[in-house]
């Protein structure tokens, strides 16, 4: 993620739920440390764009912070509140609404295997043995 966050943002677009997106026509922009990527939503499909000039919402964050959105460990609301992301164009409520159109790939709260993994990762190395 830290090497090429834009690739992960580009892959994020395939998780758009066409039913939730409906007839939405908009663009979300992501500004990372050294890269930008736009995701255009129209006709229930998301497309990558190399510009964010006309994005309705632009989200700025460090490359590695995008892992939290990508892996569904935090929401954009939580990240903005924690100072890990900022909305530079548009409103947080709209960013949250648009990101809710994307399916959850990793359900950390309800998947027992992922809960076990999270528990193991949060333990000190000597506790994990």
Q: What's the CATH code of the domain at 34? A: 3.30.1050.10
> In DSSP terms, which residues pair with 45 in a beta bridge?
42
Convert the pLDDT of each residue in 93-107 to its tens digit. Answer: 999 999 999 887 666
The tally of domains found in the chain comes to 1
Rounded to two decimals, the pTM is 0.77
Q: C-alpha 92: how far from its chain's center?
A: 13
Of 38, 41, 48, the closest CA to residue 22 belongs to 41
Residue 27 lies in a domain: yes
What domain range includes position 23? Answer: 5-122
**Structural domain includes residue 128:** no
Summarised one tens digit per residue, pLDDT across range 68-97 is: 888 888 899 999 999 999 999 999 999 999
Residue 129 domain flag: no
């Amino acid at each position: 993620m830290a090497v090429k966050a834009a690739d992960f943002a580009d892959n994020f677009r395939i998780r758009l739920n066409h039913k939730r997106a409906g007839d939405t026509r908009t663009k979300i922009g992501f500004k990372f440390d050294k890269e930008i990527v736009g995701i255009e939503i129209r006709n229930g499909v998301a497309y990558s764009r190399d510009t964010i000039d006309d994005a309705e919402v632009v989200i700025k964050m460090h490359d590695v912070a995008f892992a939290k959105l990508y892996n569904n460990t935090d929401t954009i609301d939580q990240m903005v509140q924690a100072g890990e992301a900022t909305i530079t164009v548009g409103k947080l409520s709209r960013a949250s609404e648009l990101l809710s159109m994307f399916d959850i790939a990793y359900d950390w709260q309800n998947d027992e295997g992922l809960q076990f993994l999270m528990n193991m990762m949060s333990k000190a190395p000597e506790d994990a043995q």
